[in-house]
Amino acid sequence: NAGVTQTPKFQVLKTGQSMTLQCAQDMNHNSMYWYRQDPGMGLRLIYYSASEGTTDKGEVPNGYNVSRLNKREFSLRLESAAPSQTSVYFCASHLGGYQPQHFGDGTRLSIL
Amino acid sequence: RKEVEQDPGPFNVPEGATVAFNCTYSNSASQSFFWYRQDCRKEPKLLMSVYSSGNEDGRFTAQLNRASQYISLLIRDSKLSDSATYLCVVIRGGGADGLTFGKGTHLIIQP
């Protein structure tokens, strides 16, 4: 029972490089989310997807793009990585309504 | 006023003690409430839902006060393993954007 799976778990990039963080869920949830969490800080919402085919900006979308490839998968892309994007990135899924979210175990990203 | 607020702590509590902390929310239309636990550099994990009548799960008790717009989490007989950050989540509506996390309360259980 995998739940929410994120890849990769760790990544080091150089400034200006691009990469895509992958997220997949097997719970048939409708909504998916990308958060970042900096040391000692709360979760900040980057983008979310209420359903397949839709995406919306969250609190901190600048420097990121997302794709809701299908109901299972929601990817986050950094086109030109900057040191300020060094963070832990969490993907979450949500059945909808008043149900709780479920999180992946995170991607730890360092940008040099 | 922020939509969801928590005292960041840290709360330093001796092992075996009882500790409680609150989470206030600003939108009276909020319908659904949860507590999550987050260990250092790990993902948040659902601890328990919060029901209108209050609910208990072992040493943990969650309560909702709609009149004063806060939820609470009480931990009895605290263990060293309870050391973590506790996040509250408030859902105000059925849409994907209706969900808000608090920034968390850091709890340290001391031997």
Asked if A10 has any chain B CB less than 8 Å from its own CB, the reply is: no
Q: CA-to-CA distance for B73 and B50, rounded, in angstroms?
A: 9
State how far residue B75 is from chain A, nearest Cα, in angstroms: 21
Residues of chain B with pLDDT below 70 are 1, 94-95
- Does A1 have pLDDT greater than 70? no
pLDDT at A41: 87
Q: CA-to-CA distance for A47 and B44, rounded, in angstroms?
A: 18
pLDDT at B94: 62
pLDDT at B30: 87
Segment A36-50, tens digit of pLDDT: 999 888 999 999 999
Segment A23-38, tens digit of pLDDT: 999 999 999 999 999 9
pLDDT at A14: 97
Residues from chain A that touch B32, judged by Cβ atoms under 8 A, are 98-99
Contact A100 B96 (CB under 8 A): no
pLDDT at B1: 67
Torsion angle of the four alpha carbons B60, B35, A88, B5, in this order, in degrees rounded to the nearest 10: -120
Residues from chain A that touch B41, judged by Cβ atoms under 8 A, are 88, 106, 108
Segment A51-92, tens digit of pLDDT: 999 999 999 999 999 999 899 999 999 999 999 999 999 999
Residues from chain A that touch B103, judged by Cβ atoms under 8 A, are 41-42
Question: Backbone phi, then psi, for B33, in 5-degree steps?
Answer: -140, 145
